[in-house]
Structure 1
Amino acid sequence: MSDQIKYIVDSLNKEPFKKNYNLITFDSLEPIQLLQVLNDVLAEIDPKQVVDIREEMPEQTAKRMLNLLGILKYKPPGNAKDISIFRQGLVIGSKPVVYPVLHWLLQRTNELKKRAYLARFLVKLEVPSEFLQDETVADTYKQYEECMEAFKTLHKECEQLKTSGFSTAEIRRDISAMEEEKDQLIKRVERMKKRVETVQNHQQMLKIASQLRVEKEREEFLVQQKQEQKNQLFHAEQRLQRAQNQLESMRNAAADAKPESLMKRLEEEMKFNSYLVTEKFPKEIESKKKQVQHLQKVASEPAMGHSGLLELESKINEVNTQINQLIEKKMMTNESTETKFSLFKQQASIISRKKEAKAEELQEAREKLISLEREASAKTNQMRELDGTETVKEDEFKRYVSKLRSKNTVFKKKHQIIAEIKAECGLLQSTEELLKQRHENIQHQLQTIEEKKGLSGYSYTQEELERVSTLKSEVDEMKGRTLDDMSEMVKKLNSLVSEKKSVLSPVIKELRQLRQKCQELTMECEEKKAQYDSCAAGLESDRSKLEQEVKGLHEECLQEESRYHYTNCMIKNLEVQLRRATDEMKAYVSSDQQEKRKTIREQYIRNIAEQENLGKKLREEQKAVRESYDQNMKQVKMWRDFEKLMECKKKCFQKKQQSQVPVGQVTQAEGEDQEEGEDRLTL
């Protein structure tokens, strides 16, 4: 840090700044003064930055400086959090933020001046797509881009001329020398003309000389054409050789092939290519397009201040809380269905990932195969060029392959026989070991039984006696010894038995002590075993608890995955709605009347107008009904009275028929009733 401050102070004390600082005075500067120093350095790089910071708002100064630093491609250290800290420090004027910026700017002022100069003309003005639909605006924007490209080319040419080392004085010297050479050549031509004029038939000779020059030029052109044709022929031969090699490889591959296998290969290739075209590549293209759109949005947005960032963070938190609430509601309503389908979704995602991985592996294997085929063809060509020998023919290669196959089958059979023999040998060894162990166990059990019965060493002595008896029988059979020899042998055997008993007596005593120790050890073993069983039971219970926790966590993971998929679906729905809104805005802004008519707004306006017309018609009908309401009600009342009168007539007629009244009276009464009804109707 001290070296950095020293470099800053030294460079500020030099031209064009001339600040006359030392380490103490520079370190004791206030934040506003430090920002003013930074602004002076930026003004030296870009003259538009000449501003007094005291007359400007701090947010505006920070925004202006950040824009210029972004154009100069200054990269602040650290992550996104560090970038927010960097912006806050630049607004405040903190030393840990301003010192590295000053050090970076003062190290490369000339380079940054050039970059700032170019940024005036090369930083594009972002025009919204809505305004670009106008023809005049689009034409002016195209002219603007063409002017920018022309400026780029002219600037490159200017830089090349600056770095080429040519100067105006050298160019003038070259021009003057060329003019002198031109004058000399003109004089020589005049002299030659004067000489030629004295020669007879000089015009014919000049024509012949011109024809000779033309023929020489034509000869040179033909030589170049011949060389080009040779090169073309060489390339054509190489292509033919490659095609022949490919044809031979295809024939060798198709020699043992069948149409069914070829069809299967073609079907697999078709499936793989269709998978790449329909599923993999469109997904990759969509992901790349989304990335480009996000990057364009980020690049088009202007630099934001701390207040804007805080507002965005608050909006993001609010939207996240709303999303979480909606997800919880959805989970509460559709827990059963999601639990059913979550496993299938997970399996489908796993299978799709495996499919993508296998497709990538297959593509890599194909690329490797193509590269290996190229290497093989190159190696064969090199072998032909070096040795001049041809490659192995098809028949010889087939014979060689058949021999290898026969040898391979024989090798497999022998290898299988060896494996079977090894397996039998292992089985025999294992049976031998098992029999030995059984024999030892039986001997041990027999000894324990003898000790319990008090006849320790009986089996051993019996074996010895049997062995001796066998020896005796053999000796008897072999030589037929006398009774004396037999008595001597009996004496010897008795002596041997007594010796063995005397030898076994201390061993029996030791065996009793060892038996007591064995009992104690068995007791300890049983105690340890009980402890082990209790510990194992505790560990088993802990393991069951952990398994339950793991199951719970796994279910939580599945729920979180379902929530994640739900949020993705919601995001896609919102994107679709946003696209509809943008299409609506484009159609509404466009100059085409047909597109405007297709907009939802126009449709709604039409529907509103139709509904208003219907409302007017209904109001008029309502008004007419209100006006004619009293008359209609009177007429209804009259019709009801007429209905009652007719009912009364009917009843009277029925009564008359029942009572059999004379005809004259009935007719008179009916006439009176009719007169009353007519009077009411007239009223």
Structure 2
Amino acid sequence: MGEQLKFIVEQLNKDPFKKNFNLIKFDSLEPMQLLQVLNDVLAEIEPKQTIDIREEMPEQTAKRMFTVIGMLKYKPPGNLSDVSSFRQGLVMGSKPVIHPILHWLLQRVPELKKRAYLARFLMKLEVPAEFLQDDVINDTYHQYEELVEAFKTCHKECEQLRTSGFSTAEIRRDISAMEEEKDHLIKRVERLKKRVESVPNHQRMLELARQLRVEKEREESLAQQKQEQKNQLFQAEQRLQRSRQQLNDLRKAAADASPESLMKRLEEEVKINTYMVTEKLPKELDSKRRMVQFLQKVVSKPAMGQAELQELEDNIKEVNTQINQLSEKRMMRNDPMDDKLTLFRQQASIIIRKKEAKAEELQEAREELAAAERTLAKRKSTARDVDGDEVIRGDELKRLVVKLRSKGTVYKKKRQEMAELKAEYGVLQRTEEILKQRHESIQQQLQSIEAQKGISGYSDTQEELERVSAIKSELDDVKGRTLDDMSEMVKKLNSMIVEKKSALAPIIKELRPLRQQCQELTQEYEEKKSQYESCATGLESNRSKLEQEVKALREETTQEENRYHYVNCMKQIIEVQMQQAAEETKAYVSSDPQERKKTIRELYMKNIAEQESLGKKLRETQKAVRESHGPNMKQIKMWSDLEQLMECKRQCFVRAQSQASIGQVIQEGGEDRLVL
């Protein structure tokens, strides 16, 4: 939830909303402010929704937002799947409802803009069938449907042209950039030509450089062709080896197979297939059909209640008890002929079960074989895609092992040669150091001789001249190669520009009528759009009027139904009361005393008499209680005083008894002292 709020706040702070929210401020928004934020986001997607929600009723706001969200195909989360709770939360501006909507909308604003634009023209108006019976309305509606289909085709063509990749502006920019690059290269080539013209025999050197480049390219192409031919030869040898192996396998199989063995094998396969077709598969098919029929019966029957299920369970128990009784009777009868037959029946059933088990094992083995063959074919195809050919066989593997061994011996030889070369390199390095030392000593002697003769620095000047001449020759070679490269690049650019122009020429020719057609379609689209909007506004106004009328009629119908039910209930109550009154009158007028005793009046009179007698007895009891109240209270006081007196006597007795025991103890202590 926190990540969701962060994303919503970040998106609302960006263009085009620029709300300048933070998490605390956004979380503390009032329901009305939160609804306004949601309305602003919807207005960015659908400009017609730009409105201040304080200027419209809450029901209208909820209805409008609910319509737009439904058009955008928003699905509430699992805890808000109830439409009524979702609508109520949207009306109240509840955060658990608004936050997921904002998160979903802000994730896909460009996509929803396109969907809202298309929905404006593709959502068909629902016209009742009774209005379509009118010819004018029916023709208008058919014309409206044709315009919607035409809009779909035009929109698809427009999207295809946009996504086709042939953007004229980009192509023009590419051509202008290539032309500018071409001009720069031409200028650089001219500057290099002016520099190279001063070099003697530059034409001859350029020609030789071109020939060298051509020969190198030819050498590379020949080497590539040679490698491709080697690969083809290797693949052909592998195919030949595999074909020979397959031929040997087929010959071995033909040599081992005799007509009798082939016939036996075919007979076994025929028996197995016959059993599968005539016995096993029909039984499975019948069982499946019975199961399907049973399921169809179950589906066709209405849903059972608890009482019906209990009844079925009771029937099943009764049938099971009957089956058990019949089996017990059969066991008690114990017919010896049946006993003999049961043995054979058991054997036959065992054989049938074994046969079915073997048939199932055979079916499973065939399925496994088919799966293994499919897996093998897949692996062969993957190996063929990776290596360019099939999987390596045994002979090829042996040949590869021999080749690897030969390469291993070659590797060992090369390794020994490398060790020898390293040793020789060490010797040569030491020789080089010795020669450098000798060269330095000779140079020192030469410098001393030059100093004696008065021409010191002569050898250094000569070496410097030789080095400068070598550098100049290298620069001349580099200039020649650079000039050739530049000329080749210019040629390639010219050819690319020509190819681009030739490729773009038919596209530009095709684009011109398409532009004109697009302009015509755009103009026609605007006209149809205005017609559609006028028709839509008229139908919308009619629909709103009809909805208001239907709403008023429904409310009136509901009120009348409530009134009818109330009157009907009052009528039933009055009828019951009238029936009771008639029965009471009939019983009261009746001459039978037993019947008269059953009347409500008699019952009420009897209850009144009983209550009066009970009240009389209670009044007498109350009078007796009032008369004896004073003496009784006096007697209670006397008993409480007596109780206090007895408690004081008890305490005095306990105290006297305790003092006597203490005095006895003191006396016994004095006697003990006298003894001591």
Q: TM-score, normalised by structure 1?
A: 0.30
Q: TM-score, normalised to structure 2's length?
A: 0.31
Q: Which has the higher contact order (CA 8 A, sep 6+)?
A: 2
